[in-house]
């Protein structure tokens, strides 16, 4: 299992300068693309981020590290493609002392970025316009400080007893959130007043808040026999919730008259800790679970307390699962051994595994299908990498040759990297969780020991409806 944060010390970076305050006078080695898991850093070498690989990239932190967070749906537009962007999130802290923990609700505004063509434009003299990336948008973005302006962070804190193992927002009513505490309690909250305060606040207001508000949850459930990490709201049935614990028990929550009835008789079928839960994107009574026992189970709430189907998914703990909402027959799972797999639920009683990847060498900590592209998913691992995969891709030597002619560069992909690997993001320490933004195609938010990243890779192509409201 890969959950607890072991170290909260900040990473120290050394900047080598000479007596004149300038960088080292030794000629720098030629820049090359570093292949994670293939290349090794030699003495004196260091990794540098290539800004041209991103349409947008920003880092921020809210104080204590957050093991879990969720992106809140908002009313700013169903599909948004124009910068600057605004994002609302809810997160739970992993503080040094139980009394220091809080749930953090924050708004990030003025997220800057730009669009780039996947293939650089060719000028009249047939020269590749490689340096023309500095568009007017980029000039405005870099004006004054030589780099992109940082987003504006506005924050509201709500006291929380104990660390927040996982937190999730209800899809239909984003102000309603459920949190799993390491005290063994699951709580449901109404954050309407805090979200309204953030929505009405001006960006000129202070970006830091030291005051933590005290608020009682709508419901606090203590029926689990141990703490847990698995929790999910149904995207089909309003207010329906499932929560799973480290003893292998799953409880069903049914909404009723402004509160919830929690079934005291749990679903049982796993022989070890339930690590993650996912409701079906199409069926109100069906959900999936994964466990340290290496199994994935499919449950039907109408058919008793035992799983309808259980399959051996991995040879190690299954840490996370994600049910594809655009292709509901597909479910992805990530394991403690660094592997992740894709299964076709139509073949669940046979050999349902349709794809299996062994790229990551450390435990998978998060996995999620894109809400805008059915074949795309993102994965994070304890190897400090966030990877993006497009399962529809296959290596095409003819296409590579055409692209090489256009950009006048060698673009041959390494033979030891899967052709489905679309993007690798690094720079965060001990990645814990990632989420795609449901209303901003191509945007991801990730959390790690050293804070959050907001990123939009430049090579993600998203097919949008022709008459999309981009307001």
To the nearest whole percent, how much of the chain has pLDDT over 90? 70
Tell me, what's the pLDDT at 299? 98
Tell me, what's the pLDDT at 11? 33
CB 448 within 8 A of CB 428: yes
Q: Which residue has the tokens 């349902």?
A: 352
Q: Which residue has the tokens 């898991």?
A: 37
Q: Which two tokens stand for residue 309?
A: 């189907």
- Of 38, 54, 77, 87, residue with least CA distance to 452: 87
Give the CA angle between residues 170, 173, 176 to the nearest 5°: 60
Q: What is the pLDDT of residues 14-49, one digit of tens each?
A: 334 444 444 444 445 556 666 666 677 778 777 788
Q: Which two tokens stand for residue 135?
A: 């568009």
Q: Which two tokens stand for residue 416?
A: 């030891």
Tell me, what's the pLDDT at 226? 97
**C-alpha span between 342 and 333 (Å, rounded):** 7
Phi, psi of 394 (to 5 degrees): -135, 150
Tell me, what's the pLDDT at 468? 43
Phi, psi of 179 (to 5 degrees): -125, 145
Q: Looking at the predicted structure, is the pLDDT value of residue 360 above 50? A: yes
Q: Give the mean model confidence (pLDDT) for residues 351-366.
A: 96
Give Rg (Cα) of the chain.
23
For residue 149, what pLDDT band results from cuts at 50, 70 and 90? Answer: confident
Q: What is the mean pLDDT of the chain?
A: 86
Tell me, what's the pLDDT at 43? 81
**C-alpha span between 292 and 295 (Å, rounded):** 7
Q: Give the mean model confidence (pLDDT) for residues 355-360.
A: 96
Tell me, what's the pLDDT at 128? 43
Q: How far is CA 142 from CA 139, 147, 152, in A?
A: 5, 5, 16
What does the DSSP 8-state code read for residue 264? S
Phi, psi of 46 (to 5 degrees): -145, 155
Q: Looking at the predicted structure, is the pLDDT value of residue 135 above 70? A: no
CB 215 within 8 A of CB 171: no
- Of 398, 390, 454, 446, residue with least CA distance to 422: 390
Q: Give the mean model confidence (pLDDT) for residues 306-324.
A: 97
Q: What is the pLDDT of residues 210-263, one digit of tens each?
A: 789 999 999 999 999 999 999 999 999 999 999 999 999 999 999 999 899 999
To the nearest whole percent, how much of the chain has pLDDT over 70? 77
Of 148-152, 333-337, 402-406, 426-430, which range is least confident?
A: 402-406
CB 154 within 8 A of CB 68: no
Give the CA angle between residues 250, 331, 463 to the nearest 5°: 130
Q: Which residue has the tokens 């996995």?
A: 367
**C-alpha span between 19 and 257 (Å, rounded):** 71
């Amino acid at each position: 299992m890969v959950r607890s944060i072991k170290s909260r010390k900040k990473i120290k970076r050394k900047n080598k300068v000479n007596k004149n305050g300038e960088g080292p006078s030794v000629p720098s080695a030629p820049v090359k693309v570093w292949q994670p898991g293939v290349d090794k850093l030699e003495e004196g070498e260091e990794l540098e981020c290539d800004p041209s690989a991103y349409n947008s990239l920003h880092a921020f932190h809210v104080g204590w590290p957050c093991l879990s967070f969720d992106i809140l749906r908002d009313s700013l537009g169903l599909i948004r493609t124009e910068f600057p962007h605004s994002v609302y999130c809810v997160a739970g802290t992993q503080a040094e002392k139980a009394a220091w923990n809080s749930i953090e609700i924050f708004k990030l505004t003025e997220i800057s970025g730009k669009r780039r063509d996947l293939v650089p434009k060719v000028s009249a003299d047939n020269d590749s316009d490689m340096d023309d990336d500095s568009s007017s948008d980029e000039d405005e973005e870099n004006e004054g400080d030589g780099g992109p302006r940082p987003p504006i962070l506005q924050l509201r804190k709500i006291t929380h007893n104990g660390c927040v193992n996982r937190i999730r927002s209800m899809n239909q009513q984003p102000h309603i959130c459920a949190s799993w505490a390491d005290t063994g309690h699951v709580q449901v909250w109404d954050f309407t007043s805090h979200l309204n305060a953030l929505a009405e606040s001006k960006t000129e207001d202070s970006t830091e808040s030291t005051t933590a508000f005290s608020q009682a949850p709508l419901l606090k459930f203590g029926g689990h026999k141990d703490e847990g990490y698995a929790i999910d709201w149904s995207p089909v049935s309003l207010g329906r919730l499932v929560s799973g614990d480290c003893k292998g028990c799953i409880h069903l929550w049914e909404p009723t008259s402004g509160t919830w009835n929690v079934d005291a008789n749990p679903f049982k079928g796993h022989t070890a800790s339930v690590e993650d839960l996912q409701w079906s994107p199409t069926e109100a009574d069906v959900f999936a679970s994964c466990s340290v026992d290496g199994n994935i189970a499919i449950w039907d709430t109408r058919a008793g307390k035992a799983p309808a189907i259980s399959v051996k998914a991995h040879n190690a703990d299954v840490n996370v699962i994600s049910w594809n909402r655009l292709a509901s027959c597909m479910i992805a799972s990530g394991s403690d051994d660094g592997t992740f797999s894709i299964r076709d639920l139509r073949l669940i009683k046979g050999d349902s595994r349709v794809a299996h990847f062994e790229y990551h060498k450390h435990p998978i900590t998060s996995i999620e299908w894109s809400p805008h592209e059915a074949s795309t998913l993102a994965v994070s691992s304890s190897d400090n990498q966030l990877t993006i995969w497009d399962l529809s891709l296959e290596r095409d030597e003819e296409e590579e040759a055409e692209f090489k002619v256009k950009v006048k560069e060698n673009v041959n992909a390494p033979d030891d990297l899967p052709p489905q690997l679309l993007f690798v993001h690094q720079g965060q320490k001990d990645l814990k969780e990632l989420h795609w933004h449901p209303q901003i195609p191509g945007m991801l938010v990730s959390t790690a020991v050293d804070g959050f990243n907001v990123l939009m890779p430049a090579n993600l192509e998203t097919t949008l409806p022709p008459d999309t409201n981009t307001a």
